[in-house]
Amino acid sequence: MNWCFCALLLIFMTCAVQLSLEQVRRKDGLSLGDRVQQLTDMTVKKSILRFNGNKFRDYVKATPRNYSMVVMFTAMAPQRQCSICRHAHDEFQIVANSFRYSQMFSNKLFFAMVDFDEGPDVFQMLRLNTAPVFMHFPPKSKPKQSDTMDIQRVGFAAEALAKWIGERTDVQIRVFRPPNYSGTAALIMLFGLVAGFLYLRRNNLDFLYNKNIWGIGAVFVCLVMVSGQMWNHIRGPPFVHKTSSGGVAYIHGSSQGQFVLETYIVIVLNMAIVLGMILMTEAASHKGDVRKRRILAIVGLVLVATFFSLILSIFRSKAHGYPYSFLFK
């Protein structure tokens, strides 16, 4: 009789403990194993998880965690007028895909995104008043200041994102960009047009021996390469950047990045410098009127001095700590 009573008491106590654990689990939300499994399953379908306020609290803020979360806070709705959010999302997508399909992929790192229109309470919780923002949520502590990426300084290119993630999580991601055949197609079309033009002018090819044409072509190629067009082709930077104060930045604040419009500005400045050098050279070699030679020399000197000072000033603003300047600071 005593044995039966003890067995019934043991069964009752076991059920009570299980019921208590179930109540605690329901109160605290999903268990760690469930959260990791669900995040892994969702990552298999989509490399960047889209969270609202509830999912952000369930998967990012919930404790305990044994995984890191890299979250992009953005506002991509057209009415938000965030011109760079789409570019930042594309770069973030490249990093997430590179990690998803690499040998380093594991359930220790996940990528997520919170849009302002889907989770305004999250922006209010984190006191965010701008977008895009990239934040790292470590597994065992609260985010520090260094867990927020300084895109004003390093930009938001995929390579910069991967480097920052590696510094915060020790997970080194090798960025793989999807192939872009638009440049190859444009090059083939250019060669086709040139070949067709040469075929039509096959009986009159004297222009090929024109030194001025070859000189202009050589200078144009040099201007394009010096300005950073090849860097734009490889990295795909945004046209301009919207600052945190609501303005628009035309010049990148770091020597590690640039904008497309910045490339055009550098081309124009270099063209003005080249024009000034040509005028001074012509003034030195010209054997005509002395007054004309003097005007050419003065105009050329003013162009070189002014626009070289401007381009040097831009370089000083990007390479912080550079000590030299000329005319403009």
pLDDT in tens, 81-126: 787 888 888 889 999 998 888 888 888 889 999 998 888 888 888 8
Q: How many whole angstroms separate alpha carbon 156 and alpha carbon 84?
A: 10
- Domain around 314: 210-318
Together in a domain, 56 and 147: yes
Q: Which helix (H) or strand (E) holds 33?
A: helix 32-45
Reported pTM: 0.56
Tokens of 161: 């994102």
- Position 324 in a domain: no
148 occurs within a structural domain: yes
Q: Which residue has the tokens 């404790």?
A: 63
* In a domain? residue 259: yes
Q: Are 281 and 219 in contact (CB under 8 A)?
A: no
| Predicted confidence (pLDDT) per residue in 142-162, tens digit | 888 888 888 877 778 888 898
Average pLDDT (46-67) is 87
Mean pLDDT, all residues of the chain: 81
Residues 137 and 222 in one domain: no
Distance of CA 141 to the CA centre of its chain: 27
Note whether residue 187 is domain-resident: no
Residues 124, 38: Cα–Cα separation, whole Å: 26
Reply yes or no on whether the pLDDT at 23 is more than 50: no
Shared-domain flag, residues 157 and 224 = no
Residue 299 identity (one-letter amino acid): V
Domain shared by 285 and 235, yes or no: yes
Q: How many CB atoms lie within 10 A of CB 146?
A: 11
Query: What CA–CA distances, in Å, run from 319 to 42, 153, 258, 260, 315?
Result: 42, 11, 12, 18, 6
Those residues with Cβ within 8 angstroms of residue 242's Cβ, 6 or more apart along the chain or in another chain: 82, 83, 84, 248, 249
Residue 191 has what pLDDT? Answer: 86
Say how many domains are in the chain: 2
190 within a domain of the structure (yes/no) = no
| Top-confidence range, 22-31, 88-97, 183-192, 254-263 | 88-97
241 found inside a domain? yes
Closest CA to 47 of 158, 183, 145, 124: 158
Weakest-pLDDT range from 113-117, 174-178, 306-310: 174-178
Query: Which of 118-127, 191-200, 241-250, 304-313 is predicted with the least confidence, judged by mean pLDDT?
Result: 241-250
Same domain, 35 and 157: yes
On whether residue 199 sits in a domain, the answer given is no
**44/154 same-domain check:** yes
Residue 5 predicted with pLDDT over 70: no
| Position 113 in a domain | yes
- Are residues 237 and 164 part of one domain? no
Given 111, 141, 169, which residue is the final one in a domain? 169
Is the pLDDT at 17 greater than 70? The verdict is no
- Domain CATH code at residue 131: 3.40.30.10
77 and 154 fall within a common domain = yes
Distance CA 27, CA 35 (A): 15
Which residues lie below 8 Å from residue 154, measured CB to CB, with a gap of 6+?
160, 163, 164, 254, 256, 257
Predicted confidence (pLDDT) at residue 30 exceeds the cutoff of 70: no
Q: Is residue 247 scored above 70 in pLDDT?
A: yes
Q: Is there a single domain that holds both residue 229 and residue 135? A: no
First-to-last C-alpha distance (Å) of the chain: 97
- Identify the pLDDT of residue 71: 92
